[in-house]
Amino acid sequence: MNQDFQNVRRRFITQWGALGSQWGINRTMAMIHALLLVAERELSTDEVMEELNISRGNANTNLRDLIDWGLVQRMVRPGERREYFAAEKDVWKIFCMVARERKRRETEPAQKVLEACIRDTETDDSPEAREFRRELTALSDFVSLANTVMEKVAAAEQSRVLPRILKVL
């Protein structure tokens, strides 16, 4: 198989991994995702281990995390014990998955913190406490608005939403 092509392919996987760590995603997870994205067929754990030079434990853990994110699916071949893995390739679906997951892990906890802090100072009507509540409420309202937007965007079809949004802007 063409050597140059294989090199570019490997470079893509490595660099995508490096980018991943700038997002809150660990390098290996991003690399496995990249590998599966550009793989022509589903791969087994051993193939992933081999291609990326990582241990079984590492491969297993990160594959499971990718499955939790909804970015990778387990595939069973009839009559085979071994499991194979395939990445979702539709970019819009990937986007929706990531949006949903980040909402769950990031904005919802933030929302809870804000609401709790607002609630716990509710009975205090000193000027400082009022101001504190005012700040936090502004933040909280914004976060929940952002949540609503993300939710609706992620629930809709790409073909419907994006053209409309672009039109509005």
Positions in the binding site for its own copies (CB under 8 A)? 1-2, 4-5, 8-9, 11-12, 15-16, 19, 22-24, 37-38, 40, 89, 91-92, 95, 105-106, 109-110, 113, 117, 120-121, 124, 126, 128-129, 131-132, 135-136, 138-139, 141-142, 145-146, 148-149, 152-153, 156, 161-162, 164-166, 168-169
Q: Which residues of 134-158 are buried (b: 16+ CB within 10 A; e: fewer)?
A: eebeebbeebbeeeeebeeebeeee
3-state helix vs strand vs coil in the chain, percent to 5: 75, 5, 20
Residue pair 29/62 in contact (Cβ under 8 Å)? The answer is yes
Pick the closer one to DNA by CB: 28 or 140: 28
Stretch that binds DNA, among 4-12, 61-69, 95-103, 136-144 (CB under 7 A): 61-69
- Spatial separation of the C-alpha atoms in residues 150 and 31, rounded to whole Å: 26
List 75's β-bridge partners, or say none: 84
Pick the closer one to its own copies by CB: 2 or 81: 2
From DNA, its own copies, none, which one binds at residue 28 (CB under 5 to 8 Å depending on kind)? DNA
